[in-house]
Amino acid sequence: MAFPNKLAMFVRKLFLVFVVSTAHSGGYFGAYGRHVRNIEPNGISVLNGADSNQDSLPRFTEPVLNVTVTVGRDALLACVVDNLKGFKVAWVRVDTQTILSIHHNVITQNPRISLSYNDHRSWYLHVKNVQEVDRGWYMCQVNTDPMRSRKGYLEVVVSPTIIDQETSSDMVVLESTNVSLTCKATGYPEPYVMWRREDGEIIRYNGENVNVVDGEVLFITKVSRLHMGVYLCIASNGVPPSISKRVQLKVQFPPMLSIPNQLEGAYIGQDVTLECRTEAFPTSINYWTTERGDMIISGSDKYEAVSTDNGYKKYMMLKIRKVSKNDFGSYKCVAKNSLGETDGVIKLEEIPAPTTIKIITHHSTSQIKKGTSVRGEDSNSENKFDESTIAEYEYESEYTLPSNGPPPIKEPPVGGSAGSNVFATVSSLLLYVNLYLFVCSYLYKLVLR
């Protein structure tokens, strides 16, 4: 059983050696061509099936065109020969020196290869489900003597793939250590690999701010919390689709804390809000304590603690309702995570209650009343009314500010220390405005009497 097979292989090999050795002297058909010479009875030798006239010999109408195909698709190589007459066409794989087909017969045992032909003129080599091993030169030969041939290149391209085992996966590192993210990809042509952040943010890299880092390795020296994020390794080689892999980088550091306003003023009965900013990863546990270290429970009538998260940043607010004498003193905001703990102190001090503001309200209201009555009596005195209206608005806008306590903060302003200075300034400004109003109203009262 095995014997006929072996014999077939042996014959095939022999044939192959034969083809290769005759490749320069006219291909495997060379010998065949010579073989079919007949000696006529008159002793003149003639070439079977062909004229000695060169013009009547087979002629390629066009080159065998290069073909580029993505792995897995089908490829078609075309060879068009005019004036073939009794000659035969064969397809040969140049690189592996394999005969693929001769005339109407497929010789190769590769089941993916087939042949079609038209009018004894066009000869098509089909390669189904192209593989990378199929890449190379293919020759179309005609058994003239010398052999005539054309060859074309079958390019097999492969879209990129990321090799998971050799590519970094999500990482958790300590701040200030060196981090190396690696991405390996295959494909043909060799893919180009780059790194960028998924959120499009710039990457601090080797002292520069960049959007993209070329190459397989993203090496970050002294990683900072700003490097925390999702990175994309993108591989592309011009063969769609490009591919990417997400790698999350988490940077751990102990909590840090900043207080925009370390001294807060409030008068009795007022609502006041204390603020604290923290940064930590892993996410910290944050809370407020009193001067004595008692944890403040939010949600009571007295306290409302709100914390807003933005990545590794937290913005803490403690609202103290209806400040009483007992509430003055120090408060602590605390942040804790697995790497450490930190706290900060905010002092709440009493300021004089702006009680006189009510009197201003009273006077400005009476002024409006006056104005209104004036307009009721005399419609030409609109200017006067306008003045008093404006005056009223001015008072209103001034006195409403301090009575509302510290500035209402809806969204934490970003940017640590710069923000704190602004807050400190605004807050002290409010104290001055308060004081100023107090004096003004007092003088105003005197003048009116």
Ligand X SMILES: *[C@@H]1O[C@H](CO)[C@@H](O)[C@H](O)[C@H]1NC(C)=O
What secondary structure letter does DSSP report for 46? Answer: E
Q: Encoding tokens for residue 272? A: 């006041």
The size of the chain, in residues, is: 449
Q: Could you tell me the smallest distance in angstroms from the CB atom of residue 182 to ligand X?
A: 15
Q: Could you tell me the smallest distance in angstroms from the CB atom of residue 5 to ligand X?
A: 36
Range 57-86, binding ligand X (CB under 6 A): 66
Q: Does 221 bind ligand X (CB under 6 A)?
A: yes
Range 171-210, binding ligand X (CB under 6 A): 178
Q: Could you tell me the smallest distance in angstroms from the CB atom of residue 178 to ligand X?
A: 4
What secondary structure letter does DSSP report for 295? Answer: B
Range 16-55, binding ligand X (CB under 6 A): none
- For 75-102, the three-class secondary structure string (H helix, E strand, C coil) is EEEEEEEECCCCCCEEEEECCCCEEEEE
Q: Could you tell me the smallest distance in angstroms from the CB atom of residue 92 to ligand X?
A: 17
Contacts of 308 (CB under 8 A, 6+ apart): 314, 315, 317, 412
- How many angstroms separate the CA atoms of 43 and 167, rounded? 76
What secondary structure letter does DSSP report for 231? Answer: E
Q: Could you tell me the smallest distance in angstroms from the CB atom of residue 137 to ligand X?
A: 8
What does each C-alpha distance from 79 to 97, 177, 189 come to in angstroms?
18, 62, 27
Q: Does 153 bind ligand X (CB under 6 A)?
A: yes
Phi then psi for residue 361, to 5 deg, are: -55, -45
- Nearer to ligand X by C-beta: 180 or 262? 180
Q: Does 224 bind ligand X (CB under 6 A)?
A: no
- How many angstroms separate the CA atoms of 334 and 284, rounded? 9
- Nearer to ligand X by C-beta: 88 or 148? 148
Residues 337, 342, 348: CA angle, nearest 5 degrees: 130
DSSP 106-154: E-S--TTEEEEEETTTEEEEEE-S--GGG-EEEEEEE--SS-EEEEEEE
- The size of the interface with ligand X (CB under 6 A), counted in residues, is 4
**Cβ–Cβ < 8 Å for 302, 359:** no
Q: Encoding tokens for residue 202? A: 């710039």
- Nearer to ligand X by C-beta: 154 or 266? 154
Contacts of 109 (CB under 8 A, 6+ apart): none
Q: Could you tell me the smallest distance in angstroms from the CB atom of residue 161 to ligand X?
A: 23
Q: Could you tell me the smallest distance in angstroms from the CB atom of residue 217 to ligand X?
A: 12
Place of tokens 């189904």: 128
Q: Could you tell me the smallest distance in angstroms from the CB atom of residue 121 to ligand X?
A: 21
Backbone angle region of 83, left / alpha / beta, with phi > 0 → left and psi within -120 to 50 → alpha: left
- Nearer to ligand X by C-beta: 57 or 130? 130
Say which amino acid occupies 185.
Answer: A
- Identify the bridge partners of residue 247 per DSSP, sorted by sequence position: 231
- Nearer to ligand X by C-beta: 94 or 353? 94
Q: Could you tell me the smallest distance in angstroms from the CB atom of residue 66 to ligand X?
A: 4
Q: Could you tell me the smallest distance in angstroms from the CB atom of residue 65 to ligand X?
A: 7
- Nearer to ligand X by C-beta: 129 or 178? 178
Q: For binding to ligand X (CB under 6 A), which residues are involved?
A: 66, 153, 178, 221
